Structure formats: structure tokens, C-alpha cells
Copies of this chain bind each other. A is one copy, B any other.
Amino acid sequence: MHSDLPQFRINAVDRTLTPALQSKIDQKTKPVGSLGRIEQLALHLGLIQHSLTPRLHQPHVLVCAGDHGAAKAGVSAYPQEVTWQMVENFLAGGAAINVLARQAGLALIVANAGVNHEFGPRDGLLDAKVAQGTANYLDGPAMSAQQCLTAIRNGATIVRNLAASGCNVLGLGEMGIGNTAAASLLTHCLTGLPLNDCIGRGTGLDDAGLARKRDLLAKALTRWAERNDQPLQILARFGGFEIAMLTGAMLAAAEAGMILLIDGFIVTSALLVAHRLQPAVRDYCVFAHRSEEAGHRGQLDHLKGEPLLDLGLRLGEGTGAALAYPLLKAACAILDEMASFESAGVSSRA
């Protein structure tokens, strides 16, 4: 199966510009290091773009939606039809990601990766449907190897088109009832963390619901006879079409040298897959926020990701990415617009 994966040529970020960027940052009229994470972010963005004046062009957030066969087994607090209803909400402009993307100046792309619903041709909905939702991983693989590759290719194609049109920064989001459960399984299999450390309340399960989710996911693992650690097989076994699509989107975005703004638990599960396939994808990632969803912390530790925000978010949709985006703009502006001690005629340290 691995041989069928589209080729992604992802270069590790060239760090030769580090001294010049750091020197530029240190000469700005402020005590050295006093802008903390904003300085580190400015350095990172400069390295990704190999530029002393990184710039953000045509910023987008890509929200991939998909349904999960296991949702019908009761892994979520919400019924499966909420996935398509929320896609309608995205198309009508009323969801949190619509509001926050508008606020942040991010264009929104909504992609149907595999929702269990017939939308018909619709303005504003990118049709990349692989199937009417995945199969239930309690019974067998969530998707076939071919479906998995199709979803990855679909994500890559969108991003290659975005890159061709000049976009160089991409927030990633998702919608799919049941997808925290899928992300928990992927995270367990890809990081080796104990399963229960990877499972949280998702959209808001109570204690009984959480216990049920834990039982179901433990069962899903025991039923995986051919258990192995190949990332694409793990993805096909437990993933969602939206997660596979995000994996492809990330690989293509890193290949194109884009800045990737990583949202929460589900998006990071897609990154775990991408990272196992191509570790260099990590170089292009800015972690937007630390999610309240249990398991995100373990993902971040595994990837050595330091998120920008810690606001107790657990919504998904790319909302954390949209909320963090102004910090990227701020970091670029600091590099580009702030005076140096010399240019401003300010004395340096005594």
C-alpha cells in the first residue's frame, strides 16, 4: 500500500538563516527576548520562508468534514446527522469557524471528505467525497487502502491548487461526529501512549459516556487482528476521511513550503500520520493552541509542539487556528516594521 502513496518531496527547513534572523530580532528596540514566543514565532516563520521578512499571503483555513461508522455505536454525545447539519451551518456562515475566520481575515474552504449525506452540487462546498462515511472500525477497517489514498490525494490536490494561486499559510480544521474517538485510536497506535490517556470527552460526554467510549475503543483495538505499526494501515483501520484528507493536505502544504497552522486533537492526529510518513512536515507546523481534549497534550509532547494559545478550547473546526492567526501576523510585522536600536537612536544596555 505504501508504494501507492503520492510522492511528496518535503525538504527539511533550511536553518542557515537563523543567525541573521536572530540578529535582526535582537536589534529591534526592546530588551533581548522580551517578546517571548512572538520572537520565536518570527524566527520560525522566517526560516520556513527563508526570508528576513516573511509574509503571509492569501491565508486560508481548510475544514474537512467526514462521517464515522463508529458514531452509530455511541462514541459521541451527538447524533451522526450533526455532521451534515454543521456543514450546512458552515455554508450558511453561522458556525464558529465562519465567525472566527472572518475576524482573522482567513478565507474558508469547506470540503466534503466523506459525509453521510447527499448535498448535491453546492456553492462553497468542495466535493471530495470518498464514500458516505467510513465503515465501523468495531467490525473491520474504517476504510479500504484505496479509499485512504484517495482521501490523501484529495487533500493534496486542494492544497496544490491553493499553493499555485499564491496561498502560503494554511489553517487546518475538521468536522465529523465521532472523530475524537478515531483520533484517540490513531494517537494510541502512533505514539504508544496508553489508550485511556488518548481518550477524552469529545463534544461533552458524561462519565458514563466516557466509560462507554473507552470500552468501545478498547474493543476496536482487540479486534484488530493484523495489528502493525504502518501509519497508512493505522489510518485506514481507524481514521476518518476528513483525517486522511488533512494528512494529504499537510504533506502537500509542507512540500509547497507553506506555514501550517495546526488546530487541536483531531488535526494533530492527522499530523501524527503525516509526520510518520515524512518527519520533515513538522518543520512547517505552528501549533495554534492546547486543546482541553485529553490526549492533545500527549500528541504535543510526542511532536515536541509548543502551542501558542491555551484557552480551554475543545471545538475543532479550525477555531484554534483562526484565533491564533493574528499572532502570526504580529510576528511578521515585528520583523518587518519595528525599528532597530541603531535606526531609532536608542541607547543599548548600560
Which residues does A use to contact B, with CB under 8 Å? 28-38, 76-79, 81-82, 85-86, 88-89, 92, 94-96, 98-100, 102-104, 203-204, 292, 308-315, 319, 322-323, 326-327, 329-330, 333-334, 337-339, 343-350
Contacts and interface: CB of A to CB of B under 8 A. Distances in A.
A325 B98 CA distance: 19
A329 B101 CA distance: 12
A102 to B, nearest CB: 7
A308 B311 contact: yes
A35 to B, nearest CB: 6
29 contacts: A29-B89, A30-B95, A30-B96, A31-B78, A31-B315, A34-B313, A35-B313, A35-B319, A36-B292, A37-B311, A38-B313, A77-B349, A77-B350, A78-B347, A78-B350, A79-B347, A81-B347, A85-B344, A86-B346, A88-B346, A92-B344, A94-B337, A94-B343, A99-B337, A100-B330, A104-B330, A311-B327, A323-B326, A323-B327
Contacts of A312: 36-37
Contact of A346 (B32, B37, B89, B326): B89
Contacts of A100: 330, 333-334
B350 A79 contact: yes
A187 to B, nearest CB: 19
Given A29-B95, A79-B347, A89-B339, 12 more contacts: A30-B95, A35-B315, A36-B292, A37-B313, A77-B349, A81-B347, A82-B346, A85-B345, A96-B334, A99-B330, A99-B337, A102-B333
A314 B36 contact: yes
A309 B327 CA distance: 11
Nearest to A350: B79
A164 B30 CA distance: 34
Contact of A314 (B31, B319, B327): B31
A30 B315 contact: yes
Nearest to A314: B34
Contacts of A28: 96
Given A99-B334, A329-B103, A334-B96, A347 B36 contact: no
Given A82-B347, A204-B349, A95 B37 contact: no
Given A38-B313, A346-B86, A349-B204, A92 B339 contact: yes
Contacts of A327: 311, 323
A178 to B, nearest CB: 12
A311 B98 CA distance: 26
Contacts of A96: 28-30, 35, 334, 338
Contacts of A343: 94
A86 B99 CA distance: 38
Contacts of A37: 311-313
A339 B94 contact: yes
Contacts of A33: 204, 314
A161 B338 CA distance: 30
Contact of A34 (B103, B308, B315): B315
A37 B315 CA distance: 12
A344 B89 contact: yes
Nearest to A335: B99
A348 B160 CA distance: 37
A88 to B, nearest CB: 7
